[in-house]
Amino acid sequence: MNDEMESRTNASTDYQIVIDRLNKTYKTDESETVALEDFTLSIKKGELISIVGPSGCGKTTILRLIAGLLDSTSGTIMIDGRICTKPGADRGMVFQDFALFQWRSVRKNVEFGLEIAKVPKEERNVIVDKYLSIVGLEQFANSRVHELSGGMKQRVGIARALVTNPDVILMDEPFGALDAQTRNLMQKKLIEILDETDTTIIFVTHSVDEAVYLSDRVVVLTKRPAKIRDIVDVPWPRPRDRASEDFTRLRKQILEELEHENERI
Protein backbone atom coordinates (compact mmCIF):
# COMPACT_ATOMS: atom_id res chain seq x y z
CA MET A 1 0.00 0.00 0.00
CA ASN A 2 1.44 3.36 -1.01
CA ASP A 3 1.86 6.33 1.36
CA GLU A 4 -1.17 8.15 -0.04
CA MET A 5 -3.42 5.11 0.51
CA GLU A 6 -2.06 4.60 4.02
CA SER A 7 -2.65 8.21 5.03
CA ARG A 8 -6.23 7.98 3.80
CA THR A 9 -7.06 4.83 5.69
CA ASN A 10 -5.40 5.95 8.91
CA ALA A 11 -7.14 9.33 9.04
CA SER A 12 -10.57 8.13 10.22
CA THR A 13 -11.92 11.25 11.91
CA ASP A 14 -13.46 12.73 8.75
CA TYR A 15 -14.79 9.47 7.34
CA GLN A 16 -18.30 8.05 7.44
CA ILE A 17 -17.21 4.47 6.76
CA VAL A 18 -14.07 2.95 8.22
CA ILE A 19 -13.22 -0.63 7.19
CA ASP A 20 -10.23 -1.93 9.13
CA ARG A 21 -8.23 -5.08 8.27
CA LEU A 22 -11.26 -6.99 7.04
CA ASN A 23 -10.73 -10.69 6.31
CA LYS A 24 -13.13 -13.34 5.05
CA THR A 25 -12.48 -17.08 4.74
CA TYR A 26 -15.17 -19.46 3.49
CA LYS A 27 -14.93 -22.84 5.20
CA THR A 28 -16.50 -26.20 4.47
CA ASP A 29 -15.81 -29.63 5.91
CA GLU A 30 -13.48 -30.35 2.99
CA SER A 31 -11.75 -27.03 2.33
CA GLU A 32 -11.38 -23.36 3.05
CA THR A 33 -11.07 -20.43 0.65
CA VAL A 34 -9.57 -17.10 1.61
CA ALA A 35 -11.72 -14.57 -0.27
CA LEU A 36 -10.61 -11.29 1.29
CA GLU A 37 -7.40 -10.37 3.06
CA ASP A 38 -6.54 -7.28 5.09
CA PHE A 39 -9.04 -5.00 3.33
CA THR A 40 -8.73 -1.49 4.79
CA LEU A 41 -10.61 1.50 3.36
CA SER A 42 -12.11 4.77 4.62
CA ILE A 43 -14.91 6.57 2.78
CA LYS A 44 -16.23 10.11 3.21
CA LYS A 45 -19.94 10.91 3.30
CA GLY A 46 -21.32 11.57 -0.16
CA GLU A 47 -18.50 9.79 -1.98
CA LEU A 48 -19.13 7.36 -4.78
CA ILE A 49 -16.52 4.61 -4.55
CA SER A 50 -16.25 1.97 -7.26
CA ILE A 51 -14.63 -1.41 -6.70
CA VAL A 52 -13.09 -3.19 -9.69
CA GLY A 53 -11.02 -6.35 -9.87
CA PRO A 54 -10.51 -9.67 -11.63
CA SER A 55 -13.54 -11.94 -11.94
CA GLY A 56 -14.22 -13.92 -8.78
CA CYS A 57 -11.82 -11.90 -6.65
CA GLY A 58 -14.32 -11.04 -3.92
CA LYS A 59 -16.03 -7.79 -4.92
CA THR A 60 -19.52 -9.01 -4.01
CA THR A 61 -18.18 -10.50 -0.78
CA ILE A 62 -17.06 -7.00 0.27
CA LEU A 63 -20.54 -5.58 -0.37
CA ARG A 64 -22.25 -8.40 1.50
CA LEU A 65 -19.93 -7.92 4.47
CA ILE A 66 -20.72 -4.19 4.58
CA ALA A 67 -24.44 -4.97 4.23
CA GLY A 68 -24.24 -7.34 7.19
CA LEU A 69 -25.33 -10.31 5.08
CA LEU A 70 -22.05 -12.13 5.81
CA ASP A 71 -19.93 -12.40 8.93
CA SER A 72 -16.28 -11.45 8.59
CA THR A 73 -13.56 -13.81 9.76
CA SER A 74 -11.80 -10.83 11.38
CA GLY A 75 -11.64 -7.06 11.13
CA THR A 76 -14.24 -4.34 11.63
CA ILE A 77 -16.68 -2.20 9.65
CA MET A 78 -17.79 1.07 11.24
CA ILE A 79 -20.42 3.46 9.88
CA ASP A 80 -20.82 6.79 11.67
CA GLY A 81 -18.84 5.40 14.58
CA ARG A 82 -20.97 2.26 15.01
CA ILE A 83 -19.64 -1.23 14.39
CA CYS A 84 -21.79 -3.05 11.81
CA THR A 85 -22.26 -6.78 12.22
CA LYS A 86 -25.79 -7.27 10.82
CA PRO A 87 -28.17 -5.68 8.29
CA GLY A 88 -29.61 -2.30 9.21
CA ALA A 89 -31.77 0.52 7.88
CA ASP A 90 -28.64 2.66 7.47
CA ARG A 91 -27.68 0.57 4.40
CA GLY A 92 -29.63 -0.10 1.21
CA MET A 93 -28.69 -2.53 -1.54
CA VAL A 94 -29.32 -2.56 -5.28
CA PHE A 95 -28.85 -5.85 -7.15
CA GLN A 96 -27.91 -6.64 -10.74
CA ASP A 97 -30.98 -8.80 -11.29
CA PHE A 98 -33.40 -6.10 -10.01
CA ALA A 99 -34.84 -8.42 -7.26
CA LEU A 100 -38.28 -6.82 -7.54
CA PHE A 101 -41.63 -8.26 -6.49
CA GLN A 102 -43.25 -9.14 -9.80
CA TRP A 103 -46.78 -9.20 -8.37
CA ARG A 104 -46.51 -5.65 -6.98
CA SER A 105 -46.87 -2.31 -8.71
CA VAL A 106 -43.96 0.10 -8.96
CA ARG A 107 -45.31 2.06 -5.99
CA LYS A 108 -45.77 -1.07 -3.91
CA ASN A 109 -42.22 -2.20 -4.67
CA VAL A 110 -40.74 1.14 -3.69
CA GLU A 111 -42.69 1.42 -0.45
CA PHE A 112 -41.86 -2.09 0.76
CA GLY A 113 -39.18 -0.99 3.25
CA LEU A 114 -41.51 1.68 4.65
CA GLU A 115 -44.21 -0.94 5.16
CA ILE A 116 -41.77 -3.11 7.09
CA ALA A 117 -40.89 -0.06 9.22
CA LYS A 118 -44.65 0.48 9.81
CA VAL A 119 -44.62 4.01 8.41
CA PRO A 120 -48.25 5.28 8.19
CA LYS A 121 -49.82 5.07 4.72
CA GLU A 122 -50.21 8.82 4.14
CA GLU A 123 -46.57 9.42 5.08
CA ARG A 124 -45.50 6.49 2.88
CA ASN A 125 -47.27 8.01 -0.10
CA VAL A 126 -45.48 11.35 0.32
CA ILE A 127 -42.06 9.69 0.63
CA VAL A 128 -42.63 7.31 -2.29
CA ASP A 129 -43.81 10.16 -4.52
CA LYS A 130 -40.60 12.05 -3.74
CA TYR A 131 -38.32 9.17 -4.76
CA LEU A 132 -40.38 8.18 -7.80
CA SER A 133 -39.87 11.76 -8.95
CA ILE A 134 -36.12 11.59 -8.28
CA VAL A 135 -35.74 8.47 -10.46
CA GLY A 136 -38.18 9.78 -13.08
CA LEU A 137 -40.90 7.16 -12.64
CA GLU A 138 -43.78 9.21 -11.22
CA GLN A 139 -45.92 8.47 -14.30
CA PHE A 140 -45.39 4.71 -13.84
CA ALA A 141 -46.32 4.46 -10.16
CA ASN A 142 -49.20 2.07 -10.79
CA SER A 143 -47.53 0.02 -13.53
CA ARG A 144 -46.67 -3.62 -12.96
CA VAL A 145 -43.03 -4.67 -12.99
CA HIS A 146 -43.43 -6.88 -16.07
CA GLU A 147 -44.53 -3.81 -18.05
CA LEU A 148 -41.22 -2.00 -17.50
CA SER A 149 -37.97 -1.95 -19.47
CA GLY A 150 -34.73 -3.13 -17.85
CA GLY A 151 -33.58 0.41 -17.14
CA MET A 152 -36.91 1.31 -15.56
CA LYS A 153 -36.79 -1.80 -13.37
CA GLN A 154 -33.37 -0.79 -12.16
CA ARG A 155 -34.68 2.69 -11.34
CA VAL A 156 -37.38 1.03 -9.23
CA GLY A 157 -34.64 -0.87 -7.39
CA ILE A 158 -32.71 2.35 -6.77
CA ALA A 159 -35.83 4.15 -5.51
CA ARG A 160 -36.57 1.22 -3.19
CA ALA A 161 -33.06 1.46 -1.77
CA LEU A 162 -33.30 5.24 -1.33
CA VAL A 163 -36.78 5.45 0.15
CA THR A 164 -35.77 4.49 3.69
CA ASN A 165 -33.14 7.27 3.60
CA PRO A 166 -30.11 5.02 4.18
CA ASP A 167 -26.71 6.50 4.92
CA VAL A 168 -25.05 4.15 2.44
CA ILE A 169 -26.20 2.43 -0.76
CA LEU A 170 -24.41 -0.72 -1.90
CA MET A 171 -24.72 -1.42 -5.63
CA ASP A 172 -23.69 -4.82 -6.98
CA GLU A 173 -23.20 -4.52 -10.75
CA PRO A 174 -26.55 -2.73 -10.99
CA PHE A 175 -26.25 -1.93 -14.71
CA GLY A 176 -24.47 -5.08 -15.82
CA ALA A 177 -27.56 -6.67 -17.40
CA LEU A 178 -28.54 -3.57 -19.41
CA ASP A 179 -27.77 -2.80 -23.05
CA ALA A 180 -25.07 -0.19 -23.69
CA GLN A 181 -27.42 2.72 -24.41
CA THR A 182 -29.62 2.07 -21.37
CA ARG A 183 -26.53 1.59 -19.22
CA ASN A 184 -25.21 5.02 -20.21
CA LEU A 185 -28.58 6.60 -19.45
CA MET A 186 -28.67 4.91 -16.02
CA GLN A 187 -25.17 6.14 -15.24
CA LYS A 188 -26.31 9.71 -15.92
CA LYS A 189 -29.42 9.15 -13.79
CA LEU A 190 -27.28 7.87 -10.93
CA ILE A 191 -25.19 11.06 -11.06
CA GLU A 192 -28.41 13.10 -10.82
CA ILE A 193 -29.56 11.01 -7.86
CA LEU A 194 -26.21 11.49 -6.12
CA ASP A 195 -26.54 15.25 -6.55
CA GLU A 196 -30.11 15.15 -5.18
CA THR A 197 -29.47 12.99 -2.13
CA ASP A 198 -25.77 13.26 -1.13
CA THR A 199 -25.88 9.54 -0.34
CA THR A 200 -22.65 7.56 0.02
CA ILE A 201 -22.46 4.86 -2.66
CA ILE A 202 -20.21 1.80 -2.92
CA PHE A 203 -20.47 0.51 -6.47
CA VAL A 204 -19.15 -2.84 -7.73
CA THR A 205 -18.61 -3.06 -11.48
CA HIS A 206 -16.66 -5.00 -14.11
CA SER A 207 -16.57 -1.91 -16.33
CA VAL A 208 -13.53 0.34 -15.86
CA ASP A 209 -15.16 2.92 -18.15
CA GLU A 210 -18.19 2.99 -15.84
CA ALA A 211 -16.02 3.26 -12.74
CA VAL A 212 -14.04 6.23 -14.08
CA TYR A 213 -17.21 7.94 -15.35
CA LEU A 214 -19.05 7.68 -12.03
CA SER A 215 -16.58 7.56 -9.18
CA ASP A 216 -14.73 9.89 -6.87
CA ARG A 217 -12.23 7.06 -6.31
CA VAL A 218 -11.73 3.65 -7.87
CA VAL A 219 -10.54 0.80 -5.65
CA VAL A 220 -8.57 -1.75 -7.68
CA LEU A 221 -8.40 -5.25 -6.18
CA THR A 222 -5.90 -8.04 -6.66
CA LYS A 223 -6.78 -11.60 -7.58
CA ARG A 224 -8.24 -13.73 -4.79
CA PRO A 225 -7.62 -13.43 -1.97
CA ALA A 226 -8.64 -9.86 -2.66
CA LYS A 227 -6.40 -7.12 -1.35
CA ILE A 228 -6.30 -3.48 -2.38
CA ARG A 229 -3.80 -3.09 -5.19
CA ASP A 230 -4.43 0.63 -5.72
CA ILE A 231 -6.84 3.47 -4.96
CA VAL A 232 -7.18 5.82 -7.92
CA ASP A 233 -8.52 9.37 -7.57
CA VAL A 234 -10.86 10.63 -10.28
CA PRO A 235 -10.39 14.39 -9.80
CA TRP A 236 -12.79 15.85 -12.38
CA PRO A 237 -16.35 17.08 -11.75
CA ARG A 238 -19.27 15.05 -13.10
CA PRO A 239 -20.54 14.62 -15.79
CA ARG A 240 -17.29 13.59 -17.50
CA ASP A 241 -16.13 13.47 -21.08
CA ARG A 242 -15.32 9.84 -21.91
CA ALA A 243 -13.47 10.97 -25.05
CA SER A 244 -11.05 13.30 -23.25
CA GLU A 245 -7.33 12.49 -23.05
CA ASP A 246 -7.40 12.53 -19.24
CA PHE A 247 -10.34 10.09 -19.10
CA THR A 248 -8.67 7.77 -21.60
CA ARG A 249 -5.36 7.90 -19.75
CA LEU A 250 -6.90 7.01 -16.38
CA ARG A 251 -9.02 4.23 -17.84
CA LYS A 252 -5.92 2.79 -19.53
CA GLN A 253 -3.97 2.93 -16.24
CA ILE A 254 -6.62 0.93 -14.39
CA LEU A 255 -7.05 -1.54 -17.24
CA GLU A 256 -3.30 -2.18 -17.26
CA GLU A 257 -3.35 -2.85 -13.51
CA LEU A 258 -6.19 -5.35 -13.94
CA GLU A 259 -4.40 -6.98 -16.87
CA HIS A 260 -1.31 -7.38 -14.71
CA GLU A 261 -3.41 -9.04 -11.99
CA ASN A 262 -5.07 -11.40 -14.44
CA GLU A 263 -1.65 -12.47 -15.73
CA ARG A 264 -0.22 -12.98 -12.25
CA ILE A 265 0.16 -16.61 -11.19
109-128 pLDDT per residue, tens: 999 999 999 999 999 999 99
Residues in the chain, how many? 265
Q: Please state, in angstroms and as integers, the Cα–Cα distance from residue 124 to each residue in 118, 121, 129, 130, following that order.
A: 9, 5, 8, 10
The span from the CA of 250 to the CA of 4, in Å, is 17
Alpha helices (runs of H) in 100-230, residue ranges in sequence order: 106-110, 112-116, 121-134, 150-162, 180-197, 208-214
Q: What is the DSSP letter of 179?
A: -
The pLDDT of residue 71 is 94
CA distance 91 to 70: 14
Q: 3-class DSSP state for residue 39? A: strand
What domains appear along the chain, each with residue ranges and CATH number?
3-90+166-263 (3.40.50.300)
- Residue 13 has a pLDDT of 59
- Separation of alpha carbons 194 and 216, rounded Å: 12
pLDDT tens digits along 74-104: 999 999 999 998 998 899 999 888 789 888 9
Q: With a cut of 50, which residues of the chain have pLDDT below it?
A: 1-12
